[in-house]
């Protein structure tokens, strides 16, 4: 269990460093630079570093550390909750940033800046975590260093099935996100953390259940077993297609592309009371009778 304690200390250290970076950037940078660059970079760094260490525990822990999947899933839920509570509004996910762009909540320049910051943060997280593993503080890290150069692909099923799995995970995640994103953090953070934990448990054996293109790029694109285009199809096109499907189902349209609602009819916001309508109908009847009576009173030839 010493290896698990070192990993937990690493999680706390990464979260603390990222929180300090957010505090400094909020003080030193303009609101635009903080929102588009600093907090996305810090959030991606925190997410990628934590995910890499957690994946190491998931792969080596059962036979090298003496703890099971239940411990890893509990840590995943807690880490997801900590990330959601401390992210300061950062998504650390290119699919979420593109969703905000399609919802007209962010401009093109801000979205591009977020994507670049997410890529830089994920790459920095990968480099720092590899350096941390090289210190071999525990036996788990020693084993990880031995197998890291020969890592294999996280795709353990056929390519179409893998793309469908990642797309389905992204679809469900974004549906939950769209539903709870305006909710109070006490409801939103546990709901998203539970969703991530459930999807990782069910889809992890097939693709690793990333449904985050930046995280997947830093974690598994360098591993052998599949081509670069295979990874693009599964970990980029799959999640983006799932995000678009969730947005279309939830909104009925994609505001950035078209305003017409394709799935749901638009009901009028102003309703006329039924009693008023009935009174208007009854008020029209005497007028019809008077008109009819006037025409009958005319002399006939």
- From the number of C-beta atoms within 10 Å of its C-beta (0-12, 13-18, 19+), residue 141 rates as buried
Q: What is the pLDDT of residue 150?
A: 80
Cα distances from 254 to residues 43, 100, 267, 294, in angstroms, run 27, 11, 19, 58
DSSP assignment letter at 117:
H
CB 62 within 8 A of CB 69: yes
- The C-alpha atoms of residue 179 and residue 103 are separated, in whole angstroms, by 14
Please report, in angstroms and rounded to a whole number, the separation of the first and last CA atoms in the chain: 114
- The C-alpha atoms of residue 82 and residue 249 are separated, in whole angstroms, by 29
- Chain position carrying tokens 């990874």: 231
25 is written with which tokens?
């950037």
Q: What is the pLDDT of residue 267?
A: 59
Note down pLDDT in tens along the chain; length 301 residues: 677 899 999 999 999 999 999 999 999 988 888 878 999 999 999 999 999 999 999 988 777 667 788 999 999 999 999 999 998 889 999 999 999 999 999 999 999 999 999 999 999 999 999 999 999 999 999 989 888 878 888 999 999 999 999 999 999 999 999 999 989 999 999 999 999 999 999 999 999 999 999 999 988 998 888 999 999 999 999 999 999 999 999 998 899 988 888 777 765 444 555 555 455 545 555 544 444 444 444 444 3
pTM for the whole thing?
A: 0.85
Q: What angle do CA 203, 18, 147 make, to 5 degrees?
A: 50
- The C-alpha atoms of residue 164 and residue 211 are separated, in whole angstroms, by 11
Q: What is the pLDDT of residue 274?
A: 55
Distance of CA 121 to the CA centre of its chain: 16
* 273 Cβ contact partners less than 8 Å away, ≥ 6 residues apart: none
Q: What is the pLDDT of residue 277?
A: 47
Distance of CA 115 to the CA centre of its chain: 14
- The C-alpha atoms of residue 154 and residue 51 are separated, in whole angstroms, by 14
Q: What is the pLDDT of residue 268?
A: 46
- The CATH code for residues 1-251 is 1.20.1080.10
- DSSP for 3-55 reads HHHHHHHHHHHHHHHHHHHHHHHHHHS-HHHIIIIIHHHHHHHHHHHHHHHHH
97, containing H or E segment:
helix 94-102
Q: What is the pLDDT of residue 283?
A: 56
């Amino acid at each position: 269990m010493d290896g698990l304690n070192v990993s937990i200390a690493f999680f706390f250290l990464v979260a603390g460093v990222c929180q300090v970076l957010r505090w400094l950037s909020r003080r030193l940078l303009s609101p635009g630079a903080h929102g588009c660059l600093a907090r996305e970079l810090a959030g991606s760094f925190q997410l990628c570093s934590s995910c890499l260490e957690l994946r190491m525990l998931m792969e080596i822990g059962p036979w090298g550390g003496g703890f099971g999947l239940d411990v890893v899933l509990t840590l995943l839920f807690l880490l997801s909750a900590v990330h959601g509570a401390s992210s300061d509004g950062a998504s650390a996910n290119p699919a979420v940033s593109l969703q905000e762009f399609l919802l007209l909540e962010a401009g093109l320049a801000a979205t591009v800046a977020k994507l670049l910051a997410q890529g830089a943060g994920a790459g920095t997280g990968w480099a720092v975590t590899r350096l941390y593993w090289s210190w071999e503080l525990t036996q788990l890290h020693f084993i990880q260093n031995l197998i890291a150069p020969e890592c294999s692909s996280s795709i353990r099923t056929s390519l179409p099935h893998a793309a469908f799995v990642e797309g389905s995970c992204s679809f469900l995640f974004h549906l939950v996100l769209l539903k709870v994103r305006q909710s109070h953090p006490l409801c939103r953070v546990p709901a998203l953390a539970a969703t991530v934990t459930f999807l990782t448990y069910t889809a992890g054996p097939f693709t690793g259940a990333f449904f985050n293109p930046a995280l997947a790029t830093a974690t598994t694109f360098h591993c052998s077993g599949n081509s670069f285009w295979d990874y693009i199809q599964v970990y980029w096109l799959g999640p983006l297609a799932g995000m678009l499907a969730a947005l279309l189902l939830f909104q009925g349209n994609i505001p950035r592309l078209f305003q017409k609602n394709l799935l749901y009819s638009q009901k009028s916001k102003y309703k006329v009371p039924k009693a008023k309508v009935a009174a208007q109908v009854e008020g029209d009847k005497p007028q019809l009778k008077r008109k009819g009576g006037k025409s009958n009173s005319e002399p006939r030839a």
